[in-house]
Chains A and B, each alone.
Chain A
């Protein structure tokens, strides 16, 4: 069967040596087992993330995203764009939709794109990796490559914000999306009851308002303990980093003993599909996910 082709937008945090580089590592096994082909968009740029608006305004923000869409349209024709990062996906999809609705903004965007020798017809659909897995691959095919079911592992499915709002996955509710729990069950683990599933980790404000963000993060981690979870799983790069790396800061300030591993859904899949701990990027955890790594060794 021919591989399904996608124009791939990795995003800044997934680059080698960046905070979410282990996401990209773990995606490799998933892509191979599910017969996907991710074609990196040549010379892609940053999406502006969630705080680009303050200095960037509206049009410059739309334009930087339009550049990626225009390159994909030209170099990888006919392919949907897919990103693993919710911020990249959100910014690109928002750009695609807004330019489709407002002809004047598309015209202005093309005036700016011309400076970089590009033009956008706005034909490329921007999608998130979880959407591709659920809609194009499907649950049965996602389950088929499982050779090491994650038996006895209890996992809190932390969806966070931007994978879920404002667009989300078709057919899912904003308040209680079920797909991440279903992914946890698909790889043989147990999805625990978790009431902070869609709570905000503070996002970029983890840098500028550390105390306020760390209050959010503490709630997110403590609820996972309350549910009896061994680890947290998330589809979001910023959620992963914030919720994992600030636990030690919270412990220092409040005398708590938080030590909850936080991994990506692709890392679960990678291990369940028979990948090694290294292939699953588990050497990239700041808080080691020992129980998950142990399954890889079985």
Chain B
């Protein structure tokens, strides 16, 4: 299991477009990808799960990657998130 944290900068929070972008990226992973905010978590490959967390601006989110290629996939996701969200 590999995980990393990031803070949502967009002033509207993790709204539909960035949430969609994250899901699109996560779906390409072979690992299980979980998105976690506080106590709540959801499957990052499912848009309703991600949006259901109702993540707002400046909130910290954790991404947990579990699978055979977890190292490289987590790194790719982290790079993507830093670049785009």
Q: Do A and B bind each other?
A: no
Interface residues of A (CB under 8 A from B): none
